[in-house]
Amino acid sequence: MEYSHLIRKRRSVRSFRQGNIDEGILKNIMDDINQAPSAGNLQSYRVYLVRGRELKKKLAAAAYGQDFLEQASLLMVFCADRKRSASKYGKRGETLYSIQDATIAATYAILSAENSGLSSVWVGAFDESLVSEILGLEENLRPVAIIPIGYPGENPEFPGRRRIEDIFFQVD
């Protein structure tokens, strides 16, 4: 799909139809995520793939009852690897670059899923400690986004956007 069309077509979907994601499509999404830019090319993040019903249910509860997570074929939990980034960039790598790396990778996942005919939504509202416990994360990993991916069960309307003039400011 042409890029400009892709980013204008994409919507946040919170209702999913049943159906497994083809392994070839999933591999392509993972390959696309792996191309995401990162600070120092460290790729200071990990992505946990969750397909099991019970784990999805626990993660939905940890996301303050966002039950649509249970409907998605797959949950991708993006975690910042603070230690990996700190090894090169110190405190700034630990507290900022690792989070940026994980969120850029999550954005690539969303766009790749859309390009593959799947839908997703960014979920950032969750109990971090509980998600870490559910997934058994190492101490240096910080969950920053849960991306449910699946076949859309809805077609949301365009939500509108701010005016370009309200966002961009020329400075010389």
Distance of CA 57 to the CA centre of its chain: 18
pLDDT of 1: 62
| pLDDT at res. 73 | 98
> What's the whole-model pTM score?
0.96
Mean pLDDT of the chain: 97
Q: 153-168: per-residue pLDDT in tens?
A: 999 999 999 999 999 9
Enumerate the β-bridge partners of residue 80: 45, 142
41-71 pLDDT tens trace: 999 999 999 999 999 999 999 999 999 999 9
Name the CATH superfamily, with its identifier, for domain 3-152: NADH Oxidase (3.40.109.10)
Which residues does the chain have with pLDDT short of 70? 1
